[in-house]
Amino acid sequence: DAKTTQPNSMESNEEEPVHLPCNHSTISGTDYIHWYRQLPSQGPEYVIHGLTSNVNNRMASLAIAEDRKSSTLILHRATLRDAAVYYCIYSGGSNYKLSFGKGTLLTVNP
């Protein structure tokens, strides 16, 4: 299984940036890095994914280390609605399935 390491929990204040770290030291050169989040009582939702370059979309930015052994999901201005469990995943050689770990529980304080 493709293993990532994330902090169990993090806290942030509303309207401040949040940097969620992830270590994936066994990642191969062809594995994409994916981030999903799960709001309370909902199914997970896709946030962003990338291979080597930093990526931006309307939800977040993904910064990937040059050696690809770690990445950081950046929420530029946290809102209360961003309180969720954030999962960092890589496919581990499979192009057809993703294995989720336990993720990081993000708490956003008003």
Partner 1 sequence: DAGITQSPRHKVTETGTPVTLRCHQTENHRYMYWYRQDPGHGLRLIHYSYGVKDTDKGEVSDGYSVSRSKTEDFLLTLESATSSQTSVYFCAISATGGYGYTFGSGTRLTVV
State the residues that interact with partner 1 by CB under 8 A: 1, 32, 34, 36, 42-46, 49, 87, 91, 95-103
Question: C-beta of 24: minimal distance to partner 1 in Å?
Answer: 15
Least CB distance from residue 52 to partner 1, whole Å?
15
| Cβ nearer to partner 1, comparing 13 with 28 | 28
Q: Which is nearer to partner 1, 14 or 98 (CB)?
A: 98
Token pair recorded at residue 27: 């990642």
Instruction: Please state the closest distance from residue 99 (CB atom) to partner 1, in A.
Output: 6
Q: CA–CA distance from 96 to each of 27, 31, 32, 93, 99 (Å)?
A: 16, 12, 12, 9, 10
SS3 sequence of 7-43? CCEEEEECCCCEEEEEECCCCCCCCCEEEEEECCCCC
Q: Give 43 or 110: the residue with its C-beta nearer to partner 1.
A: 43
